[in-house]
Amino acid sequence: MINKLLKYFMGGLVFGAAVIFVCPEAAAQAAPDQNKKNEEALQIVRSQPISSVFYDALITKVPSQSTALILTKAFIAEHRPGESAFRVGDFEKWYMMDFEDGKNRIRISINEYESPELAVKVFNTDGYSYGIVTGGKEFGDATVKGFNMSGEFVGLKFRKNRFVVYISGRSEATVKAFAESARLSIEAK
């Protein structure tokens, strides 16, 4: 009986030692993998004029947060005229980027449409499914801010020319900085 207990005890010690020595190495490997993903996302952003100008404007607009603001994902889709492939939306180009500042996640989608009329149509048909919505013209031709049922800010969308921009995040000030940067990138096009 004592031999069995001793075997279990020794097995537990060996397993514990393996966990202690292997886990820091696994954690050390995870950080470079995440850094590589962040670098790939930045390369995607830098590959297009709109997203590149947006990123530069954002970093200069939010300098106090830029050290904590990390680009975690980026995606760009494009439909070319005359393309016979299946279209997944009315957009001509779609730029999507995710950022994190430690505890908060901010997502921005910049959608470019064929015409301002199509952008108006899309903007007017998309909506929030619940909560409170306020409108105005703060960032473009039309701006809509969304709040949940408790009155907490959840994001905004705006339309400028042939672009519709969606930004979700918990901090209204941060989302406004994103919106201003997006507006600047659209005007630079």
Sequential DSSP letters for 94-106: EEEEEEE-SS-EE
For the chain, what is the mean pLDDT? 79
Residues 158/142, Cβ–Cβ less than 8 Å: yes
39 and 82 inside one domain: no
* Angle between helix 172-188 and helix 49-61 axes, rounded to 10 deg: 140
Q: Which is nearest to 157 in space by CA: 189, 118, 120?
A: 120
- 127: pLDDT strictly greater than 90: no
35 and 113 inside one domain: no
More confident call, 129 vs 79 = 79
What's the structural domain count of the chain?
2
Q: Would you state the pLDDT for residue 104?
A: 84
72 and 19 inside one domain: no
Tens-digit pLDDT profile for residues 40-82:
999 999 999 999 999 999 988 765 554 578 999 999 988 766 6
Q: Would you state the pLDDT for residue 134?
A: 84
Name the residue range of residue 38's domain: 1-46
pTM comes to: 0.76
Q: Would you state the pLDDT for residue 132?
A: 79
Q: Would you state the pLDDT for residue 2?
A: 52
